Amino acid sequence: MVKDFLPRRSLRNAHLMTIAAAFWPRKFPQLPAASPRFFDVEEGTQVRGDCHWQEEPRKHPTLVLLHGLEGSSESGYMRGCAEKASAAGFNVVRLNQRNCGGTERLTPTLYHSGRSGDFRAVLLELVERDRLPAIFFAGYSMGGNLVLKMAGELGESAPEELRGIVAVAPCLDLAACADALGAARNFVYNGHFVRKLKARMRRKARMFAGLYSLDGMGRIGSVRDFDETITARFCGFEGADDYYARSSAMHVLAAIRRPTLILTAQDDPFVPFSTFERETIRENPNIRLVAPLHGGHCGFISEEGGEERFWSEARIVEFCEEHSAEQEGPEI
């Protein structure tokens, strides 16, 4: 049973909840110091993880966290969840997607919502090199789409060490989310993402001189425009629609064979709840959908305090504890 979400009374408005979550002042006094780890995900490309290892890592379950669009391993929800998981006895890896968290120089390529292979490579390295017995992945928003896509693509071939997946407000239908972001009511979020995406692209072009043309950047006014002009052109897609169709996790949900928890709010401003009302979610016994009426986008700030203040973080750790206890790992 997943604990009900009781939203903070002053934040029942979806926009207030979403914005408050981004700016809520937080400290993480119990989060241990992190050690960097560089994972080779394909030739010439690495991603960086900020790792919090228990004293004997192979005797503990591991939680790999993945941020959303234009976030990083330093995002508040990443550190908050890591703090809770570490205190519960987990190894934690806060992963940066390609180019994020100041890692642009680790790859000549761009990041996008279809690069689930990066996280499959991380999973396999943790299994084969580190011999970790119980591994969970949790992703937020764009990261939620990626971890669901990874799990669906693995299907029956998922290593037994992969014990479960959690996705918070996953953008599993990228076209629907891009269209919702482009709606007039969401101009604040759209403008925020477009500014950050453009700034990152300019940095990337300076670092890799001659590799990227910035033609058309001035005409970009939405996330869909960016994906049409930049993502599709430089990542091998025919256009934004092709990118969204090939990169959305919704197409592989039926193939997921590991326990999976999806947390989303019915009032999310730009991840339409209608995208979760599909047979592939309802009919897959491995997937549990929990969708409170309120919560905004990756907000879920509770009326309760303490460990329950950030409800989704507590539910991630609770889910991983439950499923790591169900099947203990092999003796080391």
Separation of alpha carbons 126 and 93, rounded Å: 10
Q: Where are the domains of the chain?
A: 9-173+251-326, 185-247
Beta strands in the chain (DSSP E): 35-42, 45-52, 62-66, 91-95, 135-140, 162-168, 260-263, 287-290
**Taking the complete model, does pTM exceed 0.85, yes or no?**
yes
Instruction: List the pLDDT tens digit at each of the 332 positions of the chain.
Output: 899 999 999 999 999 999 999 999 999 999 999 999 999 999 999 999 999 999 999 999 999 999 999 999 999 999 999 999 999 999 999 999 999 999 999 999 999 999 999 999 999 999 999 999 999 999 999 999 999 999 999 999 999 999 999 999 999 999 999 999 999 999 999 999 999 999 999 999 999 999 999 999 999 999 999 999 999 999 999 999 999 999 999 999 999 999 999 999 999 999 999 999 999 999 999 999 999 999 999 999 999 988 899 999 999 999 999 999 765 544 43
- What phi and psi, each to the nearest 5 degrees, are found at residue 59? -100, 10
- 9-173+251-326: which CATH number, 3.40.50.300, 3.20.20.70, 3.40.50.1820, 1.10.3720.10? 3.40.50.1820
Count the Cβ atoms, other than its own, within 10 Å of residue 83: 22
Residue positions counted in the chain: 332
Show the tokens assigned to 315.
Answer: 């539910």
Distance separating alpha carbons of residues 303 and 309, to the nearest angstrom:
7
Give DSSP secondary structure letters for 257-282: -S-EEEE--TT-SSS-GGGG-SHHHH
* Contact by Cβ (8 Å): 237, 246: yes
